[in-house]
Amino acid sequence: MTKSITLYHNPRCSKSRQALALLQAQGVEPRIVRYLEEPLNAATLREILQKLQLSARELLRGNERIARERSLHRPELSEEELIAAMIEEPRLIQRPIAVCGHQAILGRPPEQVLKLL
């Protein structure tokens, strides 16, 4: 039985494209969520964070210009404030993220997504 995997994907990101190609090479056609076009809501992002076992700060793309402009590196920012920032600006979310059932993997490096198989 083929596992049902959802890939939170940015086709402009080389790591995301590599993760997709690796899954497809294993015969897996994941459900693709282009999270920049279909923004996540806070509840979904919290659920993904829980499955990843990461904090919002760990999932934040802190090197993005918008992150620097909004001073999102400040340690006093709460988990909810960082989640709100990522919902407002989805490009702040690390990618790709592969989810299968109760597990999720951040595809950095892309080969990590194969752990879900």
Quick check: is 100 catalytic?
no
Residue 71 and residue 37 in contact, taking contact as beta carbons nearer than 8 Å:
no
92 burial (CB, 10 Å; 0-12 / 13-18 / 19+) is: buried
Select which of 13, 40, 48, 100 is catalytic. Answer: 13
Residue 67 and residue 60 in contact, taking contact as beta carbons nearer than 8 Å:
yes
Name the residues annotated as catalytic.
13
